[in-house]
A and B are shown apart, each in its own frame.
Chain A
Amino acid sequence: MIELEMQNVTLGYDHHPVLEDITFKASPGEVVGLIGPNGSGKSTVIRALSHLIRHKAGKITVGGREINKIPRRELACLVGVVPQLPLLPSTFTAFEIVLMGRNPHLGLFESESRRDWDMARQAMEKTSTATLAHRHVNELSGGEIQCLLIARVLVQETEAILMDEPTANLDIGRQVDVLDLIKNLCKENNLTVLAAIHDLNLAAQYCDRLILIYNGRIHARGTPAEVITDANIKEVYGAENCVYTHPVNGLPTVLLSALKKKTPGENGISGRGG
């Protein structure tokens, strides 16, 4: 069980800061959602927490240890990542891709054993990708690849899972399947889950807490009801009066009407991008 924590962190590429003074904590057993407009830096947070980029200021800790002091292989045993739809090498089969999740657990002279193969098979069954096992990945759809990547992160057996738009390519049925699976795993195994999610309604339904990133800073944080409010949505996305209460679960729900969208330029979205 590990905590992921950022304290006054500045992140950016070259001399261009993307995020400044970011402080938050994600704890075991909770699903934390990162929301915000395009280019707000959701992916950058995920890249920093998997140590793909170095932070320019502040402190990032994984399980209380500073991230730059954790060896790469050990970090991969603690934190697993579901990247945003990457290109996968077409010559590998789906089963081989999932099996690569075992990599951090294997020493240089070790090879996968029966246990690893079984683990990969079970993960593929859980994500309904078992029928794809021997297909080459270039034959698979975006949604199928997304599910494979989730199977791979399950096989990685990490205590924290970072997900970058895990539902972006999924149909609504699969979206619910995948998020249900992750949420259950999180609760059963006390995992720490941090997910960048575009869809505000899915974020509201599945996340225990939300962090709204806007203009390079954390704009709001708290429970879905605290973060997804008319005022916040208007300021960040430029859409007015579109937050309703879901008739069944009582969570905030965003219903957009074209008439309620201001013209671009007035709403401040165009100011930051990229």
Chain B
Amino acid sequence: MVSKPIEKTRIGAYLSGRRTRIISLVGLGIGLLIIIGIATSIGSVQVPLGTTASILLDKLPFVDMQQTWQSSIATIVLDIRLPRIILAGLAGAALAVAGATYQGLFRNPLADPYLIGVAQGASLGAVIGFLLPTTWNLSGIGIIPMFAFIGAIAATLVVYLISRVGKTLPVTTLILAGVALSALLGSIVSYLIISSGNRLHSIIFWMMGSFSGSQWSEVLMVLPYIVVGIAVIVIFARLLNVMQLDEEQAQQLGVNVESLKLILLAAATLITAASVSFVGTIGFVGIIIPHAVRLIWGADHRFLLPLSILTGAIFMILTDLISRTVLAPVEIPIGVITAICGAPFFLYLLRKRKKAIF
């Protein structure tokens, strides 16, 4: 009897694990497209799935569909629903990949995209924006996203400058400085909120996050940050794997740890800040999606990062769909839905797979 040499099958198991993850990636990519189609069809005006598909396909280059739909339907699909869905997908992808990056960089399962002050910085910026006289109106982008973005970047810069020791950036110091600065900014935000009078409601709503009223102009502003940030992070995925050993071993295996930390921190912070500025501080996605992906597909960042991007996008589009349809015409804040839908599923995963998760 001729059997395969044992050593060949040993690599075989590793390779089949890779194959499974590649197939999952392709599957999730197709799933994302289908879910975009379905989510675009559902709403106060029901559009048949076939019509939605035709309208969307018609927009692709080199595809010409015969127009069988009313132009008002096309407007609903293309100018009202689609930008909102794309923005939700981008935000979900951004938060999930940023969360995975922070968790990997800090080797800490509790890390999320808001750990080092991005969210509180953005909140303070946004609240200041809300409290400014409404007569201030900067052309182009809304004043709130601009202030939120500046706040997010400024807060992270302060945390970075405080934690830097010479040419190194000790990760624990960075986390502690982030937590402390977040607390400080959070208390300022709380004070501003209670003294905000009639703007209280809009501030609270912004902070819980929402995709309502999203426009293509917003999508186009967020897109470059998120695409560039994600590309940079994914390029360094293999080095992020080596970083999981510890910083000393990573250096002994040829990783320039300090510059890697800087590059990844900058990229992850930029995409988080871009997302938070336009859609508010949506919690839960950034911490849970990477863990769920890790539980299902393992810890290799070359798969963890792209799988988190797709899963995050799908998750956010679905939760946004729920938030705008369940109690229509009232919209439930997206932050409420992410936790209500996501937490039970994550707890189920934790319970089902009792092996080490991080």
- Assess the A121–B254 pair: CB atoms within 8 A: no
Known A-B contacts A83-B248, A83-B249, A108-B235; the reply to A91 vs B298 at CB < 8 A is yes
Do the beta carbons of B299 and A133 come within 8 Å of each other? no
* In the complex, per-residue mask of A71-92: 1 if CB is within 8 Å of any chain B CB, else 0: 1111111011101001111111
Complex CA–CA separation, A235 to B235 (angstroms): 55
Q: List 5 A-B contacts (CB under 8 A).
A: A89-B244, A91-B244, A103-B239, A108-B236, A134-B14
Number of B interface residues at 8 Å Cβ cutoff, please give it: 34
Whether the pair B11, A72 counts as a contact (CB closer than 8 A) is no
Binary CB contact string for chain A from 29 to 72 against chain B (1 if under 8 A, 0 otherwise):
00000000000000000010011100000000000000000011
A138 contacts partner chain B, Cβ-Cβ < 8 Å: yes
State whether the Cβ of A226 lies closer than 8 Å to any Cβ in chain B: no
B312 CB to closest chain A CB, in angstroms? 19
When each residue 90-101 of chain A gets 1 if its CB lies under 8 Å from chain B and 0 otherwise, what string results?
Answer: 111101110011
Q: Does A217 contact B (CB under 8 A)?
A: no
Residue of B whose beta carbon sits closest to that of A101 = B253
Name which residue of chain B comes closest to A112, CB basis: B238
Cα-based distance from A156 to B242 in the complex (angstroms): 13
Q: A89-B244, A111-B302 are in contact. Are A121 and B253 (CB under 8 A)?
A: no
Q: Which residues in window 217-243 of B have CB below 8 A to A?
A: 235-236, 238-239, 241-242
Given contacts A100-B241, A103-B239, A134-B13, contact A91 B252 (CB under 8 A): no
5 A-B pairs besides A52-B252, A103-B242 with CB distance below 8 A are A80-B252, A81-B249, A92-B299, A109-B235, A133-B14
Contacts of A75 in B (CB 8 A): 254
User: Which B residue sits closest to A110, measured CB to CB?
Assistant: B238
CB-contacts of B282-323 with A (<8 A) = 294, 298-300, 302
Given contacts A76-B252, A76-B254, A95-B10, contact A136 B356 (CB under 8 A): yes
Instruction: State how many residues of chain A have any CB contact under 8 Å with chain B.
Output: 45
Give Cα distance in the complex from A228 to B53, angstroms: 82
A181 proximal to B (CB < 8 A): no
Contact with A along B1-25 (1 / 0, CB 8 A): 0000011001101110000000000
* Cβ < 8 Å to B, chain A residues 115-168: 117-118, 121, 124-125, 130, 133-134, 136, 138, 156
Nearest chain A CB to B232's CB is how many angstroms away? 11
Within the complex, what minimum Cβ distance (angstroms) separates B13 from chain A? 5
Q: Are A89 and B14 in contact (CB under 8 A)?
A: no
Instruction: Give the B-binding residues of A (Cβ under 8 A).
Output: 47, 50-52, 71-77, 79-81, 83, 86-93, 95-97, 100-101, 103-104, 106, 108-109, 111, 117-118, 121, 124-125, 130, 133-134, 136, 138, 156
Contact digits for B237-273, partner A, Cβ 8 Å, 1 yes 0 no: 0110110111011011111100000000000000000
| Contact yes or no, A81 B252, CB < 8 A | yes
Q: A91-B357, A103-B238, A118-B11 are in contact. Are A51 and B251 (CB under 8 A)?
A: yes
B118 to chain A, nearest CB (A): 25
Q: Considering the complex, give the chain A residue whose CB is closest to the CB of B357.
A: A91
Say yes or no: is B205 at the interface (Cβ < 8 Å to chain A).
no
Closest A residue to B248 by CB, please name it: A52
Pairwise interchain contact A133-B13, C-beta atoms closer than 8 A: yes
Residues of B within 8 A of A130 (CB): 6-7, 10
Q: Is the CB of B255 within 8 A of A138?
A: no
* Contact indicator A100/B253 (Cβ below 8 Å): yes
Which residues of chain B come closer than 8 Å to A79, judged between CB atoms?
A: 252
**Is B352 an interface residue when CB atoms closer than 8 A count as contact?**
no
**Interface residue from B11, B294, B355 paired with A136 (Cβ < 8 Å):** B355
CB pair A96–B253 under 8 Å, yes or no, is: no
Check B298–A103 contact: CB distance below 8 A: no
Most chain A beta carbons < 10 A, residue from B235, B241, B357: B241
**How far does the alpha carbon of A168 sit from the alpha carbon of B14 in the complex, in Å?**
30
Chain B residues, Cβ within 8 Å of A100: 241-242, 245, 253
Give chain B residues whose Cβ lies under 8 Å from the Cβ of A93. Answer: 14
